[in-house]
Chains A and B, each alone.
Chain A
Amino acid sequence: MADEKDREEIIVAEFHKKIKEAFEVFDHESNNTVDVREIGTIIRSLGCCPTEGELHDLIAEVEEEEPTGYIRFEKFLPVMTEILLERRYRPIPEDVLLRAFEVLDSAKRGFLTKDELIKYMTEEDRVSLCRLGW
């Protein structure tokens, strides 16, 4: 029992260091804050893939009571640690991604033209989005 707890502590400590490293790279003023617009990049650089909706929720969690445009490390760390521990927002497996492309390529050509890609990427039916729970 104690052994497992030790191991978990070590894992948490490692996560803390990893998160700190990723955070510091964007902390331009060296004052333990980053611009809120960089949070998405930081989280994704740590290997997680939240959707935009999930990201918005996350930001709301780590923001100040009165949003300043900056996120403090003290607030970010515990939230991010949880995410890593729970293995949340895992990236999409390669085969699923491939399937997604194949779905769009109905003619089974093995490629998408630039125009098609633009069309698919920018078409968004808001109602459907809500229905899909994205």
Chain B
Amino acid sequence: MGCSSSSTKTRKSETSLKAALIIQNWYRGYKARLKARQHYALTIFQSIEYADEQGQMQLSTFFSFMFENYAHVHKEELELRKQSLESEQDMRDRHDYVDLIDVPDSYNGPRLQFPLTCTDIDLLLEAFKEQQILHAHYVLEVLFETKKVLKQMPNFTHVQTSPSKELTICGDLHRKLDDFMIFYKNGLPSESNPYVFNGDFVDRGKNSIEILMILCVSFLVYPNDLHLNRGNHEDFMMNLRYGFTKEILHKYKLHGKRILQILEELYAWLPIGTIVDNEILVIHGGISETTDLNLLHRVERNKMKSVLIPPTETNRDYDTDSKHNKVGVTFNAHGRIKTNGSPIEHLPKHEWEQIIDILWSDPRGKNGCFPNTGRGGGCYFGPDVTSKILNKYQLKMLIRSHECKPEGYEICHDGKVVTIFSASNYYEEGSNRGAYIKLCSGTAPRFFQYQVTKATCFQPLRQRVYTMESSAIKILKERVISRKSDLTRAFQLQDHRKSGKLSLSQWAFCMENILGLNLPWRSLSSNLVNIDKNGNVEYMSSFQNIHIEKPVQEAHSTLVETLYRYRSDLEIIFNAIDTDHSGLISMEEFRAMWKLFSAHYNVLIDDSQVNKLANIMDLNKDGSIDFNEFLKAFYVVHRYEDLMKPGVTNLG
């Protein structure tokens, strides 16, 4: 059929076509595997993040335990708290905090002029781009003024939009205003360009204070058009663990403590949420089936200091007419503390729980309301709960943040719940986009996405996935090494023949159970362990290429491991004991605290070992331990750079 030349041509084009199809097929598979690896990395980041938060919440029960038993330290702390709650506080603040600090002539950072104007916003943006640090005097003044204004705001700000006044809603920033890109893209806040920042402005980064300053200054210039909602990280206890406290103490060596003190109060005065056009509720976390908006409108939100300071049982006993009594501390016969807690101190338990739900809950697909075991606080709420609560208060939509989403936003519960997350590259370069919403009554919300990348923008996909993946594997390995003893024991229990090997299934089972992380272990196994040609796992290779530095030779490795594992918790506990923020605690305090800690956490460490370690750490033999030095000594060393396989390029 047809002359020979055309049949050759047909044959040739058929072969080309086949070739093209083969290549397409291969490429689809390749891309899919990259995408899967990207998702695995994200899953790792998220699991570990939530497990950390869960650990944080569990710490709160330890604090209750500690406060009940650790008498004399608590007394001092209560004294400080009492002082900070008296009504002359405002005057004292000004005097104590701001006026005592002079700005030297030699300071060449930004100088703010009160009352603030938008010139000051620009000034700060410029200065921070140049990596300048704002002087403590201004920081304190801004925080102090912000607190004053916040105090006058109700628990929920009611906002109206119009075609000429669209509202922009941003989610978690976590110090990632990324060179303040949102302000450049969407414009600075103003009367015609109002914003809501839905919590989590700080922690996890090196520029949280700068972000906070921009937000507070903008707030002071436009108090009716820039709305700040409290997030679960606007909590001084969370800041201890997630880096903000460190950032402040590092940048403001002289006045850091004062800044921290005023921050603590400022957080508690942040409004709980925003209600837009009487139909959209904007809060940081989520809701539960018992969420009572009317109650939440009434609670004294400033009493909610921290998720880690739950209401104790003694709250129930307080006298309503002891309102004007000073908070007293009495010791009963057993040396336990009893507070005749004035109502100023604590929230009733059910109110505290209502706020926790708002700040910590996550939506899920399953109907019903379940305790949020991932984070250890708040709940998982289903579409039925959303419908019920929205209907109850005649609302149409819930906009929340709190969870990182690959696209920067996610819609669920049949369009009724929107998650908005504004920190792009949250876990790692290339991990996710950020997004913000623009709302206007009568029209559908519009979403704007972005991803700020500098160098990685032009990297091939394979490279970006590799970066993210190695980062995730690295932190996962740190988890693994922190549980080496428990894992080894579990492996050996399963290894009946003492061969040093387990099936993939057995290995995965141990990892999941000991680490408590629900991860795709089988798919990740090639990155974490050695597998022989029969598909069996050499389980001790889980610990290769990484070890915990021993601070001193004499320290026993299980002790080192335990201290490494709990170092975040220990840091918080140390900070709580160290009421004068000196960074030092006495040997006696250290020992007492360690005893309580090991009892509560069921840690089987010989007391004498801890004593020995403490003695060694007291380098200048003055009876006190610099706990930052102590904790810094426990770190992990990775020896893997050259061994990490640069992405799988096989085809199968």
Contact = CB atoms under 8 A, between A and B. Distances in A.
Interface string A48-61: 11011000000000
A92 interface: yes
Interface stretch (B33-41, B316-324, B440-448): B33-41
Contacts of B650: 94
Interface string B479-512: 0000000000000000000000000110010000
Nearest to B10: A128
Interface residues of B, number: 39
A104 B16 contact: yes
A21 B504 contact: no
Contacts, number: 118
Nearest to A131: B14
Interface in B1-43: 13-26, 28-29, 32-33, 35-36, 39-40, 43
Given A90-B652, A93-B651, A25 B39 contact: yes
Contact of A21 (B14, B19, B29, B521): B521
Contacts of B521: 21
- Tell me the dominant secondary structure on chain A's binding face: helix
B516 to A, nearest CB: 16
Interface residues on A, range: 35 or more
B421 to A, nearest CB: 13
Contact of A25 (B29, B32, B36): B36
A89 B518 CA distance: 29
Interface in B378-400: none
A18 B522 contact: yes
A91 B19 contact: no
Interface string B90-118: 00000000000000000000000000000
- Tell me the dominant secondary structure on chain B's binding face: helix
Interface string A112-134: 00000000110111001100101
Of B25, B33, B43, the most chain A CB neighbours within 10 A belong to: B25
B366 A101 contact: no
B85 to A, nearest CB: 42
B32 A40 contact: yes
A100 B523 contact: no
B410 interface: yes
B19 A128 contact: no
Interface in A29-67: 29-31, 33, 40-45, 47-49, 51-52
B258 interface: no
A29 B364 contact: yes
A14 interface: yes
A91 B26 contact: yes
Given A14-B504, A22-B520, A100-B19, 20 more contacts: A21-B521, A21-B522, A25-B520, A26-B39, A41-B32, A44-B36, A47-B652, A49-B651, A51-B21, A90-B652, A94-B650, A103-B16, A104-B19, A104-B23, A120-B16, A121-B24, A124-B17, A125-B13, A129-B17, A132-B21
